[in-house]
Structure 1
Amino acid sequence: MEENQSTQNQQHHLPPDKLQMNKPAPYGTSSSKRAFCTFLTIFLLLIGVTLLVLWLVYRPHKPHFTVVGVAVYGLNTTSPPLLSATLQFNVRIKNPNRRVSVYYDRFSAFVSYKNQAITPQVMLPPLFLEKHSQVSLSPVLGGTAVPVSVEVSNGLMVDEAYGVVGLKLVFLGRLRWKAGAIKTAHYGFNGKCDVLIGLKKGYVGQVPLLGNPPCNIDI
């Protein structure tokens, strides 16, 4: 009994702030925190699911580039190795997206042979492709002599004598996607179109395409 009375007397003599620290936290405070955490978790999950659905619906697919025709108006080498080429390519560009349009804001092209440029890089006009649409381009590239290696000069003469020449049409540029009123930032892209043409030395005009797989587009 004396010990209990002593303990009670000590508690009576404690400062008011320490008495309140010994009291358990109100039940309402813990419940409010738990409810807020639950609400925040559900809200973040809903945002994540919504963004995932939007991405699956509107995610853009790469454009399709296909070379469907080539004309050669000049392909001559001189010594020291200089190559003067004038070529025209008929290219079909398709936007496969049904919900997304494409802006080609910067767009250029050149031709290479054995991984060396044989025409200067030419700027092409900007393009805008509506959803699920396509357009045809017929750029004329070259017209100015460019220095080339002996390997390129000799290889071209051998290929023309054989009647089959492999060329690569290269596209460089920057594009943006447009979904509704939203436009994305610019993305750099490059396209490489390998074409195999039937060409004999001195021939001028439309040449047969012996192989033209779809162009490889990297974004």
Structure 2
Amino acid sequence: MSAPEDCGKHGHKRRELFRRIFAGILIFLLIALITILLVWAILRPTKPKFVIQDATVYAFNVSSPNLLTSNFQVTISSRNPNDKIGIYYDRLDIYAVYRQQQITYRTEIPPTYQGHNEINIWSPFVYGTDVPVAPYNALLLSQDADTGFIPLMFKIDGRVRWKVGTFTTGKYHLHVTCPAQISFGPKQNGIPLGNNAFKYQLVRSCSVSV
């Protein structure tokens, strides 16, 4: 008669042990989470600051009926304003947009790590060949060309991680939008580089969301 009772006691002890282990894990995770949140609140991480420095236009041609070929080289700087937080740029893709429509392919910027208060500068080529443009945008593009100014946006999509000491967070979405108004025709104000290429000094802050 003692065997079933012993089995019941052993089963109860195992369940009690599992409950204690589970409770210990939960407490550990809770303490770790609270610690991370406190460190995060104390350090107050600030998103990186992006600036578009210049843009060189090598090609910007519309062919019939609504195909656009373009080739740019843009210089963009990124600064990490944090004193104690590093930033991993795991993936960055840059492309050009005209009136909410992407008009170039995506160009990948090599992954990099940005230390405290560091500045990184990239000069990628952004281009597209015979990219279809929406009919209404083709009409607006023609009108903008007549006025001499083309409102463009260079956008960056990517993934970043924050590094605090030895701790590294998970990946966050990064979205950057840089305005670049390009002039054409008689209002051309770029610096000629030869072969119909013009360089425009912009130095404009970009909007950043993480």
TM class, shorter-chain normalised? 0.7 to 0.9
The Cα offsets for residues 38-90 of structure 1, whole Å up to 9 and x where unpaired, read as: xxxxxx9xx96x66652233231111111110110000111231100101111
Confirm or deny that 1:214 pairs with 2:205. Answer: yes
TM-score (norm. length: structure 1): 0.71
Contact 1:198/1:208, CA 8 A, preserved across alignment? no
Confirm or deny that 1:100 pairs with 2:93. Answer: no
- In the alignment, what sits opposite 2:52? 67
Paired residues for 1:104-119 under 5 Å: 104-119=89-104
The 3 A distance-change label for structure 1 pair 191 and 155 is: same
Structure number with bigger Rg: 1
The Cα offsets for residues 9-49 of structure 1, whole Å up to 9 and x where unpaired, read as: xxxxxxxxxxxxxxxxxxxxxxxxxxxxxxxxxxx9xx96x
CA distance in 2, matches of 1:204, 1:159: 19
> How well do the aligned residues superpose, as a CA RMSD in angstroms?
2.3
CA distance in 2, matches of 1:95, 1:161: 40
- In the alignment, what sits opposite 1:151? 136
CA distance in 2, matches of 1:80, 1:165: 19
- In the alignment, what sits opposite 1:204? 197
Report percent identity of matched pairs. Answer: 31
Contact 1:70/1:90, CA 8 A, preserved across alignment? yes
> What runs of 5+ residues in structure 2 fail to find an aligned partner?
1-29, 189-195
> What runs of 5+ residues in structure 1 fail to find an aligned partner?
1-43
Higher share in strand: 2
TM-score (norm. length: structure 2): 0.74
